[in-house]
Chains A and B, each alone.
Chain A
Amino acid sequence: MNAIVERERGLLEVERRIADLRNANVNQPVDFSVEIAALEAKYETLQRELFGSLTPWEKVNMARHPSRPTSLDYIGQFERFDELHGDRAFRDDPAIVAGFALLNNHAVMVMGQQRGRDTKENLRRNFGMVTPEGYRKVQRLAHTASRLGLPILTFIDTKGADPGISSEEHAQAEAIAMCLYEFTQARVPIVASIIGEGGSGGALALGIADHVIMLEHSVYSVASPEGCAAILWGDAGKAEEAAARLKLTSADLQRFGIIDEIVAEPLGGAHRDPATVVTGVLGAMSSAMEGLAKQSPHELREARYRKYRRIGAWQTERQGDIGA
């Protein structure tokens, strides 16, 4: 059970009681306004206690919240979207949604990992875990966007690439590698938003960008906390400890220069006020895109090269600490 969902239960109970009292206030001659005010105060306090500051592990749970807005919730707010399908070789992967779109009247190519919003959809979309076919769809459309001069906008929301037999048989590693390759050579602006969980290479496949935006409570890590704990300590149960060590929060990653901008979330998380959050993210993507549009294809690629070239933390005998 998601730890945030668990916590919300008490809150939802208070919410229900407030609604009941409001109802009674209208329908019955007794005045409940004092009780309502008391409950509302309690609600405020409770909300701040529960969500005022979140540990890295709580943020992981927030990023995985079943009601958190998904790629399609953002893409649905574009003025127009025409979905495109398939890898031209084997199948269409429903864990990637992609296509032409209009944002602020600009034609763009948009793509994102799509997890399900209920169990049935989750099964169809493989919980947002992308197969090689999905990554080849991404490569193909990124290439087309680059040729047509359309900016590429991506939404990142995945636990990681699909780790199944068929994915290995269809060269998952190559499919991800060639996404990275396509994104590094694209001649158009790329703006990426990490809206939920950004897990490992499967997330990075859509993550090489000139401007990287991250929602406040999203997480982005070298491996899922469970994966990291299993790799290092042979125990996926130590995920909470791994989450604390991995420095996977938006604040950490902005400090490291790995992301460029954080979009704030309402108290309690993005799903408490999805409309505002979606508008905020799309606004940030739009202005980043407009800023980048002033650069020539050559300047864009050079700047992107320099951006990724300098990421790292190392030292030499001669220079002491450099990088970072």
Chain B
Amino acid sequence: MAIPDWLRSRRGKNADGRDAALWAKCPDCGEVIYRRDLSANLDVCTKCGHHFRMNAYDRISMLIDGDFAEIGGDIMPGDPLGWVDKKTYPVKLAGDREKSGISEGVVCGIGSIDGFDVALGVMDFHFRGGTMGTVVGERVTLLLEEARKRHLPCIIFTASGGARMEEGMYALMQMAKTTAAVTRLKRDGSFLVSVLTDPTTGGVSASFAFESDIIVAEPKAMIGFAGRRVIEQTIRQKLPDQFQTAEFLLEKGHIDMVVNRHDLKATLVRLLQYAAGGIRGRSTSSGQAPTEVGQTR
């Protein structure tokens, strides 16, 4: 779907008042914010600057110039273990689709950012906690393969609680599958950027999220391998608040930069410009200044 259509459909939804929640409360400072103001501010708290977890399509519309050609959107999860606990796995999935408005934990596709053609993947925490099962692994792999084939730079936004339990070892093996695709992509010269958003942990942080050329993170995003609770249970003491935040990781040397959401697009464009200086990845309108490139469509 073209982004403007999708935006219109969402705006309509708000105008009818069909969205129950018109107000959002900032989990950090407690400020109650009108949802439309929050959206206009890229889901960043207007008072304290807290970065809310974003929907995949909101991110895409924040970055992509015009159309976004989705890849693997028709790939849907199976139920390989026949998982049942309080609910069956297919029932849980149906609930998440309803709640999040997306079909699985990642949306992938090709579009352009300020005139640069890119392969873009965006994970969404609202679907099963952004966990990686077969579909997330498959869509990310298809994206990486497409980027490699077309010599495009690839940007992946991560948000994940780790591997998806309900798919058992099939889920764990997506770490191997995505890594194999990253290895090929990098061997053939494409530029790979990860943007780590809150939270990025487990099987996603321990695979493609940390295999890229450049790693950017959003402020205060929780990033790590083991979850905070697991560590606290293991060491039997409370962890400091700063532990595993983007800022902590920057200080420890694990990531390249922490970038405010308002500066994110401009930062990514600059990175794409540097990469285009050495390798392929520039779209047809190369050579112009980025601000103009954005207007050429």
Contacts and interface: CB of A to CB of B under 8 A. Distances in A.
Contacts of A205: 206
B155 to A, nearest CB: 17
A164 B234 contact: yes
A163 B226 contact: yes
A171 B168 contact: no
Nearest to A324: B80
Interface in A214-246: 220-223, 227-228, 230-233, 245-246
B95 to A, nearest CB: 15
A64 B223 CA distance: 30
B40 interface: no
A108 to B, nearest CB: 22
A161 B176 contact: no
A174 B176 CA distance: 14
Given A181-B182, A318-B74, A313 B165 contact: no
Interface string A138-170: 000000000000000000000001011101111
A220 B169 contact: yes
Given A164-B231, A177-B179, A178-B210, A222 B74 contact: no
Interface stretch (B43-51, B135-143, B280-288): B135-143
A185 B78 contact: no
Contact of B211 (A177, A220, A323): A177
Contacts of A181: 179, 182-183, 211
A294 interface: no
B126 to A, nearest CB: 18
Interface in B104-155: 134-135, 137-138, 141
Interface string A283-324: 000000000000000000000110011011111111001011
A41 interface: no
Interface in A155-202: 161, 163-165, 167-174, 176-178, 180-181, 184-185, 200-201
Contacts of B74: 316-318
A207 B179 CA distance: 13
Interface centre among B74, B162, B168 (most CB of A within 10 A): B168
Nearest to B76: A315
Contact of A201 (B83, B141, B183, B203): B203
A161 B225 contact: yes
B187 to A, nearest CB: 7
A174 B196 CA distance: 13
Interface string B170-198: 11111111011111100100000000000
A201 B173 contact: no
Contacts of B208: 177
B170 A311 contact: yes
A169 B210 contact: no
B198 to A, nearest CB: 15
B20 interface: no
Contact of A204 (B137, B172, B234, B239): B172
A312 B165 contact: no
A232 B166 CA distance: 9
B179 A314 contact: no
B182 A246 contact: no
Contacts of B187: 185
A232 B170 contact: no
A305 B180 contact: yes
B8 interface: no
Contacts of A305: 180, 184
Contacts of B18: none
Interface in B63-79: 74-79
Nearest to B174: A312
Query: Chain B interface residue count: which class?
Result: 35 or more
B210 A308 contact: no
Contacts of A313: 77-80, 134, 167, 170
A223 B243 contact: no
B211 A178 contact: yes
A256 B80 contact: yes
A309 B81 CA distance: 20
Interface centre among B205, B226, B229, B234 (most CB of A within 10 A): B226
Interface centre among A207, A222, A245 (most CB of B within 10 A): A222
A208 interface: yes
B207 interface: yes
A282 interface: no
Contact of A316 (B76, B168, B209): B76
Given A165-B239, A204-B172, A228-B165, A314 B225 contact: no
B180 A304 contact: yes
A316 B75 contact: yes
The 10 A-B residue pairs with the shortest CB-CB distance, nearest first, are A313-B80, A163-B226, A312-B134, A173-B205, A313-B78, A172-B225, A173-B225, A176-B206, A180-B179, A174-B210
29 contacts: A163-B225, A163-B234, A165-B235, A165-B243, A167-B225, A170-B252, A171-B252, A173-B209, A173-B210, A177-B179, A180-B207, A180-B211, A185-B183, A204-B172, A204-B173, A204-B175, A222-B165, A222-B169, A227-B230, A246-B165, A247-B169, A258-B170, A304-B180, A305-B180, A308-B176, A312-B138, A312-B177, A313-B79, A315-B78
Interface of A: 161, 163-165, 167-174, 176-178, 180-181, 184-185, 200-201, 204-205, 207-208, 220-223, 227-228, 230-233, 245-248, 253, 256, 258, 304-305, 308-309, 311-318, 321, 323-324
Given A247-B168, A247-B169, A258-B170, 17 more contacts: A164-B231, A165-B235, A171-B249, A172-B225, A173-B209, A173-B210, A176-B207, A180-B175, A181-B182, A204-B173, A231-B165, A232-B165, A309-B141, A312-B170, A314-B76, A314-B78, A315-B75
